[in-house]
Structure 1
Amino acid sequence: MELDTFDLVADEHVHQFYPGINTSTYGASAEYLGPTLILHRGDTARIRIHNELAEMTSMHWHGMHVPGEMDGGPQRIIDPGESWMAEFPVKNPAATYWYHPHPHELTAEQANFGIAGFIIVRDQEEEQLPLPRSYGVDDFPVVIQDRKFLANGDFAFYPFGDSVLVNGTPNPFLELPAQVVRLRLLNGSNARIYALGLDNGQHMHVIAGDAGLLPAPAATDRLWLSNGERAEVLLDLTGMEGDSLLLMSYGNELPNTVPGSGNMLWESSLLNGVAFQVLRIRVTTPTVNPITAIPSGLLTVPMPAESESIRTRTKTITGMGMVGMGMFMINGSMFDMDVVNDTMQLNTVEAWNIVNNSNMAHPMHIHGVSFTVLERNGVPPLAWEQGPKDVVLVDRFETVKLVMRFGEITDGWPFMYHCHNLLHEDNMMMLQYIVQDPTLEVPESESSGARSFPNPTIGPVMVRSLFPLISVEVLDALGRVVLKQSGNGNHQAIFDLSDASTGVYFVRLQGAMESGQLTVVKE
């Protein structure tokens, strides 16, 4: 096993997107955006993040299968001047992932100003396929963002932009050799959803979704990409040397429920509801030993089947609002750092129905897992959406069914699930879950009438019970009693975990004729 080691510095910068015009930006070891991190399945990733911003930040490894402690969610804050070392085994299959900040109520701002970057995972299975993989030669990362510039050159913090940036460049062009090339597409915009296609009508061949390869390339002339979503596509430019073509986004084809459409009730932008240029492609001389054919088959990434599911959960989106604001909820709840909304068991499979009863489409992201989209309103998804994913767009009045395995333990650091419209996320359209190991000695049944506050906690916890308490015991994840006190016949008890290690604790409540149990997470 080898180490893939990186250092990232989140800092403030000044960058010129246009000659002579200074723009205040954030970056990760760069003036804008950050370096591509190339990881190898089976290695250990060690990434140090130092925060030189004037505000707190965090860093999330979007799509990566890591323990909760290393996920970089809003609980894992890096204060100004402080550093955090993330270290985790690389378990993901070959695909395109990314990193970005995740501090609550600051995610959209920090990403808008430029902190983000690609993660490419390579593995032996993908390396056996006849695919382009020479970085910057026939294999290119392409992050698409829209930004709004103020008169003084700085960014406006706004849901939609009027300028398109590709890899941080306005009016971009890319020279590609006349052969089969690979584009790793990422929607890095705050809210805009793209309907991508080539202006000459040529097909793109989708070979991978968010989290892994497809069984076979899926040809399409339109590819929808919502916020945080990735797709790897092959373009066959064989014999096209000297030609020029455009990668377009056809916002005029988006329904009015999708951000980026021409819906006049939402925030305005010159790009809304129109077809616009994303990237000009200039076809140049082929490389040595080019790939000149689209492969007929790829590989099947092992994913759980619906028949393996032990339960089905329904997550219902409600609320009304604008693209940049609103009171959107999941199952009637909004984000509370002290509340764990769901508890899963390690290595179990679940199906989720995401039901959207709000007024617009939402790109939904689940941390810690990859999932398969089973159906949309009872209909199987299009071929290019049938691979492993971690973001799915759910339109208004649509029900999307997913299946996933919970293979990473949280150990006191919850995973999030949320809308990846970054402004909705910061407006608390986000919940959290924990994953417990079912082999632990302590049973995981929850007391139906008891509650704990706060949960997760950094110290004191109050437990309230429907029955008078004789005793209260707190056990660690190994079933060892770490605290025990009398209940004195009261309906509530207070205990302090300030000196306890981070992790999951089980609270046993004993009454004269009744008993119960709660789970408490210590941060």
Structure 2
Amino acid sequence: MRRRGFLALTGLVGLALAGCAGSQGNANTLAFRNPLRIPPLLDPEPGPDGVKRYPLRLVEGRTELRPGKPARTWGINGGHLGPTLRARRGDRLAMTVTNTLGEASTLHWHGMRLPAVMDGGPHQMIEPGAVWSPEWTVDQPAATTWYHPHPHGRTGLHVYRGLAGMFILDDEKGGDGTGLPSAYGEDDIPLILQDRKFERNGELDEGFGGTFGPLGDDILINGTYDPHFRVTTTRVRFRVLNGSSARVYTIGFSDEREFHVVANDAGLLERPVAVRRFRISPGERFEIVAAFEAGEEVLLKSHGGDTGADVEEGDYDLLKLAAAPQLRPSAPLPARLTPLAPPDRGTRTRTFRLGGSNINGRDMDMARIDEVVPAGARETWEVDNVTFSHNFHIHDAVFRVLDIDGERPPEHLRGPKDTVYVPGRTKVRLAVEFGRHTDPGTPYMYHCHILRHEDKGMMGQFVIVPPGSEDTTPRRLPVAGHGHH
């Protein structure tokens, strides 16, 4: 009842917030003139030592995000956004991240299970002109992850300017062993959704005020404005990443056709789940498979007005899909994808109260350890949102959604996740599985992934320690972060 009651009471508040953001949607305003840009794939062969090396440069650029109007942007190995990185389970990876920007930044591997010193959070700052060289071995199931900066207080701006990219993980044999569409750029398509506001001259409007920061009516997909994609197969897999600062999308097709969710953030569902719409908040990923008929055209949309929530108003046309006159047949959708054990609630429960821009009444402190977790722990985390829209992301952890306001989540949300949407006045309970990389002196983060909230201090820190050492682990760090020179 409290969810419905809250929405009834705050519908006007949500509309007011939407009005402040100037967000009415873009339906029926696009011509779909531009072919969807497919980010280049960076999937290097292992060297003689068996290590795969990824050279990455943070650079300033000039990019025509709107036709004929170059904008100042940032990118990775190019002027805007970054390549799609790809690796297999068991691969040894070595990143070389060179910062050529005029200010310090980081690269965080969102969704990756790895040691805290390699995580790329706010304690792994890369100063201008410096190089950061994290290395780790991929040890997690096939999944769609991503990478983006994480400097405390500046994350929203750095992502908004264009520092982001997808990171696809395959199983040991390549792909995910399911027979799902897997030809990158042909029938396996990355979709990085980002809303933007533009000045009249085409420059990005970087006004980060208000409750949620910039909420723009221009939606870029893989950095492409007004995009279309030519479908050449009877089924297409879309890896949908919400790379926006705050906007929540309710994704479906213009003809309300049924399609299947096959994976959540951290990996495959047990079986494909038929849906007509799904909701995706910043940082989340959903993999979907849709069927097409020769010669047809349909729009991928974000449907507004479903819930009255404060960051998803308005109808948005996202991408025109035009099927070729003849389509190559795709393999049938598998009945089963992967076995999933029931969620393990663990023996410990922790509670996180989401305020306006704090967690448990406290703003982020770079020197404070908020939680100490034994390696390999299974715990229940209760995330209680007492204000407006938030979401919740945990570094180096995978969780399953146990319930939303006491009710089981819909079936398409029952897979492995690392980020979850928590609407206003809603409580979500998570069964969290933690990693085994111990380091009492280097924390991981948990935070709201609405970047304006994160930057304002809606973030906490936890360390993973050997079991039995929790009580003797210091709760303060000697320094509040360090850079790489």
Partner residue, 1:429: 458
SS at 2:287 equivalent? strand
* Residues 180, 331 of structure 2: 8 Å contact kept: no
Gaps of 5+ in 1: 262-273, 320-327, 460-501, 503-523
Alignment partner of 1:278 is 2:307: no
- Which residue number corresponds to residue 488 of structure 1? none
Count of residue pairs brought into register by the alignment: 426
Q: What are the equivalent positions in structure 2 for 1:265-344 lying under 5 Å apart?
A: 274-284=314-324, 290-301=329-340, 304-306=343-345, 309-319=346-356, 328-344=357-373
Letter in 2 for 1:244: E
What amino acid does structure 2 have at the position aligned with 1:259? V
Q: In the alignment, does 2:479 pair up with 1:458?
A: yes
Aligned to 2:104: 56
Which residue pairs with 2:192 in the alignment? 143
SS at 1:445 equivalent: helix
Residues 372-431 of structure 1: CA deviation (Å, up to 9, x unaligned)? 001111111011100000000111221101011221335121000000001111001001
Check whether the contact 1:212–1:301 (CA below 8 A) recurs between aligned residues: no
Secondary structure (helix, strand or coil) at the match of 1:337 reads coil
Given that 2:90 and 2:172 are in contact with CA atoms closer than 8 Å, whether structure 1 keeps it comes out as no
Structure 1 residues 32-82: Cα deviation after superposition (integer angstroms, max 9, x where no partner): 100000010011111111000000000000000011010000010000000
User: Is the contact made by 1:192 and 1:259 (CA closer than 8 Å) also made in structure 2?
Assistant: yes
**Separation (CA, whole Å) in 1 of partners of 2:258 and 2:466:** 46
1:444 is matched by which residue type in structure 2? E
Residue type of the alignment partner of 2:365: D
1:178·1:285 contact (CA, 8 Å) conserved in 2? Answer: no
Cα offset for 1:303? 6.9
Counterparts in 2 of 1:284 and 1:3: CA distance versus 1, 3 Å: farther
Deviation at 1:162, TM superposition (A): 1.8
Distance 1:127 1:355, change over 3 A: closer
Give the equivalent residue in structure 1 for 2:24: none
Partner of 1:260: 312
Alignment deviations for residues 158-197 of structure 1 (CA, whole Å, 9 cap, x no partner): 4201211011010011111241110000001111000011
Q: 1:247 aligned to 2:296?
A: no
SS of residue paired to 2:117? helix
Please say if residues 145 and 189 of structure 1, whose CA atoms lie closer than 8 Å, have aligned partners that are also in contact.
yes
Q: Are 1:376 and 2:404 matched, yes or no?
A: yes
Structure 2 matches for 1:192-211, cutoff 5 A? 192-211=247-266
Contact 2:145–2:266, Cα closer than 8 Å, also in 1:
yes
Q: Structure 2: which amino acid aligns with 1:196?
A: I
Q: Secondary structure at the match of 1:156?
A: coil
CA distance in 2, matches of 1:199, 1:287: 21
**1:9–1:49 Cα contact (<8 Å) kept:** yes
Q: Which amino acid aligns with 1:456?
A: L
Measure, in 1, the Cα distance between the counterparts of 2:354 and 2:128: 35
Amino acid at match of 1:254: T
TM-aligned CA deviation for residue 304 of structure 1 = 4.9
Is the Cα contact below 8 Å between 2:302 and 2:316 reproduced in 1?
Answer: yes
1:361 is displaced (CA, Å) by 1.5
Whether 1:445 and 2:471 are equivalent positions in the alignment is yes
Q: Which residue is equivalent to 2:435?
A: 407
Given that residues 187 and 225 in structure 1 are in contact (C-alpha distance below 8 angstroms), is that contact kept between their aligned partners in structure 2? yes
Pick 1 or 2: higher relative contact order, CA cutoff 8 A, min separation 6. Answer: 2
Q: Is the 8 A contact 1:368 1:415 kept in 2?
A: yes
After TM superposition, give the deviation of residue 293 of structure 1 in Å: 2.3
Q: 1:18 to 1:396 in 2, by over 3 A?
A: closer
- Residue 10 of structure 1, aligned match among 51, 54, 58: 58
The answer to whether residue 287 in structure 2 is matched with residue 232 in structure 1 is yes
Deviation at 1:31, TM superposition (A): 1.1
**Letter aligned with residue 315 of structure 1:** F
- CA-to-partner distance for each residue in 1:435-458, whole Å, 9 max, x for gaps? 10126xxx43259xxx97xx2113
* The structure with more radius of gyration: 1
Ranges in structure 2 where 5+ consecutive residues have no aligned partner: 1-45, 208-213
Q: Of residues 409, 413, 417 in structure 2, which corresponds to 1:389?
A: 417
C-alpha spacing 1:444/1:20, structure 2 compared with 1 (3 Å): closer
* 1:47 counterpart = 2:95: yes
- Is the Cα–Cα contact under 8 Å of residues 171 and 177 in structure 2 kept in the other structure? no
The change in CA–CA distance for 1:71 and 1:301 in structure 2 (over 3 A counts) is farther
User: C-alpha separation between the residues in 1 aligned to 2:145 and 2:74?
Assistant: 20
Letter in 1 for 2:71: T
- Equivalent residue letter for 1:311: R
After TM superposition, give the deviation of residue 198 of structure 1 in Å.
Answer: 0.3
Q: Please say if residues 41 and 122 of structure 1, whose CA atoms lie closer than 8 Å, have aligned partners that are also in contact.
A: yes
Contact residue 236 and residue 293 of structure 1 kept, 8 A: no
Q: What's the CA shift for 1:252? A: 2.0
Q: 1: distance between equivalents of 2:321 and 2:470?
A: 56
Contact 1:304 1:405 (C-alpha < 8 Å) held by counterparts = no
Correspondence for 1:356 among 382, 385, 401: 385
**Superposed displacement of residue 20, structure 1:** 2.4
| Mean Cα deviation higher: 422-431 or 174-183 | 174-183
Q: Distance in 2 between matches of 1:221 and 1:276?
A: 16
**Aligned residue in 1 for 2:35:** none
Mapped to 2, the partners of 1:171 and 1:368 lie a distance apart of 35
Query: In structure 2, the residue corresponding to 1:111 is in which secondary structure?
Result: helix
Q: Partner amino acid for 1:43?
A: D
Deviations 1:468-508 (A, max 9, x none): xxxxxxxxxxxxxxxxxxxxxxxxxxxxxxxxxx9xxxxxx
User: How many angstroms apart in 2 are the aligned matches of 1:285 and 1:300?
Assistant: 38
Q: CA deviation at 1:260?
A: 2.4
Letter in 2 for 1:364: F
Cα offsets for 1:90-122 (capped at 9, x unmatched): 012111000000001111001000000000000
Helix, strand or coil: the match of 2:124? Answer: coil
Question: Aligned partners of 1:32 and 1:20: how far apart in 2?
Answer: 16
DSSP-derived class of the 1:424 partner: helix
Amino acid at match of 2:423: D
- Please give the per-residue CA displacement for 1:322-351, whole angstroms capped at 9, x wherever unaligned: xxxxxx211111100010000010111110
Per-residue deviation, 1:292 = 4.4
Normalized against structure 1, the TM-score is what?
Answer: 0.78
2:232 counterpart residue number: 177
Equivalent residues of 1:195, 1:254 under 8 A apart? no
Q: Which residue is equivalent to 1:131?
A: 180
Counterpart for residue 80 of structure 1 = 128
What secondary structure sits across from 1:253 in the alignment?
coil
Instruction: Report if the CA contact (8 A) 1:236-1:294 is conserved.
Output: no
- Residue 218 of structure 1 contacts residue 384 of structure 1 at CA under 8 Å; is this kept in 2? yes
Identity %: 38
What CA distance in whole angstroms lies between the structure 2 residues aligned with 1:124 and 1:53?
A: 36
TM-score (normalizing by structure 2):
0.84
